[in-house]
Amino acid sequence: EAGVTQFPSHSVIEKGQTVTLRCDPISGHDNLYWYRRVMGKEIKFLLHFVKESKQDESGMPNNRFLAERTGGTYSTLKVQPAELEDSGVYFCASSPGTGASLWETQYFGPGTRLLVL
Amino acid sequence: AQSVTQLDSHVSVSEGTPVLLRCNYSSSYSPSLFWYVQHPNKGLQLLLKYTSAATLVKGINGFEAEFKKSETSFHLTKPSAHMSDAAEYFCVVSEIPGGYNKLIFGAGTRLAVHP
């Protein structure tokens, strides 16, 4: 069974440019999560999809970030325009079930390393 | 709100010696706790999770963790370190604001294993 995949693995862009990150969850997983780790900080929750619906986007830093999950399969996270402080590692995770259980395991992808110059 | 504190940012051990990575949590109710590991250039991998069924939880690669409610701790241990254990380890608590799950991560502990 394929795990969570993320594209690209690395991205280097200049301030003001746009970048789109993609996540493909494990097949059949309705729940998809985005997390981010900026340099020297903890991994932080960004948002949670159940199928194509955003259930919780309380962690999105500002309106320069737009996440979509059309059709309830893969998800994209667009940063437009990118700022220096957006640099970090963006992780995607998915889980089966309802997403409403404390004990549900989230399966993580390898992350996308974003560097904004 | 839930929170997690990993007490050591770096731990260094010799191969074959015990490993102890410390984690304290804050929770207003019975928490769900996890340990994840990240090897260089790899994704986060689940080591083990506490689900209230047993206080001593065994995970992969010989790791285990003990949930101690009185101490609000969930320390990760391994009897004998292997070179391949060198990685970054995250203690994680799960919370459900508004009915849906999200994970709260500790700052991470980098484990170095020396020959």
Three-class DSSP category at A90: strand
pLDDT at residue B29 in the model: 72
Average pLDDT over residues B82-90: 97
pLDDT digits (tens, 9 = 90+) for B88-111: 999 998 876 555 678 899 999 999
Q: What is the DSSP letter of A62?
A: S
Residues of B in contact with A93 (CB under 8 A): 44
Q: Residue A108 is nearest to which of B31, B43, B94, comparing CB atoms?
A: B43
| Distance (Å, whole) CA B24 – CA B77 | 14
pLDDT at residue B100 in the model: 63
CB neighbours of residue A43 within 10 Å:
24
Domain ranges for chain A = 5-97+107-116
pLDDT in tens, chain A (117 residues): 679 999 999 999 999 999 999 999 999 999 999 999 998 899 999 999 999 999 889 999 999 999 999 888 999 999 999 999 999 999 999 998 765 666 678 999 999 999 999
Q: Would residue B70 count as lying in a domain? A: yes
pLDDT at residue A77 in the model: 98
Average pLDDT over residues B70-86: 96
Q: Would residue B49 count as lying in a domain? A: yes
pLDDT at residue A25 in the model: 96
Query: How far away is chain A from the Cα of B53, in angstroms, using its nearest Cα?
Result: 11
Residues of B in contact with A3 (CB under 8 A): 43
Q: Residue B32 is nearest to which of A44, A103, A111, comparing CB atoms?
A: A103
Average pLDDT over residues B76-87: 97
| Interface contact flag, A56 B97, Cβ < 8 Å | yes
The C-alpha R_g of chain A, in whole angstroms, comes to 13
Q: Which pair of tokens denotes residue A15?
A: 């301030």
CB pairs under 8 A between A and B: 70
CATH number of residue B89's parent domain: 2.60.40.10
In degrees and rounded to multiples of 5, residue A72 shows phi and psi of 70, 20
Q: Residue A100 is nearest to which of B32, B45, B96, comparing CB atoms?
A: B96
Q: For residue B115, with 0-12 CB atoms within 10 Å meaning exposed, 13-18 middle and 19 or more buried, which class applies?
A: exposed
pLDDT digits (tens, 9 = 90+) for B30-76: 778 999 999 988 889 999 998 877 889 999 999 999 999 899 999 99
pLDDT at residue B32 in the model: 85
| Distance (Å, whole) CA A92 – CA A114 | 14
In Å, how far are A37, A59, A91, B58 from A33, measured between CA atoms? 14, 11, 8, 26
pLDDT at residue B97 in the model: 55
User: Into how many domains does chain B fold?
Assistant: 1
Q: Residue B100 is nearest to which of A4, A44, A100, comparing CB atoms?
A: A100
Residue B44 amino acid letter: L
Q: Would residue B64 count as lying in a domain? A: yes
Q: Which pair of tokens denotes residue A35?
A: 């997390």
Cβ atoms of B35 and B90 closer than 8 Å: yes
Residue of chain B nearest A110, judged by CA positions: B43
Q: Which pair of tokens denotes residue B85?
A: 């254990």
Q: Would residue B38 count as lying in a domain? A: no
Q: Would residue B39 count as lying in a domain? A: no
The residue range of the domain holding B65 is: 3-33+44-94+101-114
**A80: Cα separation from own chain's centroid:** 15
Cβ atoms of B56 and B76 closer than 8 Å: no
pLDDT at residue B2 in the model: 79
Domain A5-97+107-116 CATH (choose: 3.40.309.10, 1.10.3720.10, 2.60.40.10, 3.60.15.30): 2.60.40.10
| Interface contact flag, B100 A42, Cβ < 8 Å | no
| Dihedral angle over CA of B77, B81, B87, B89, nearest 10 | 0
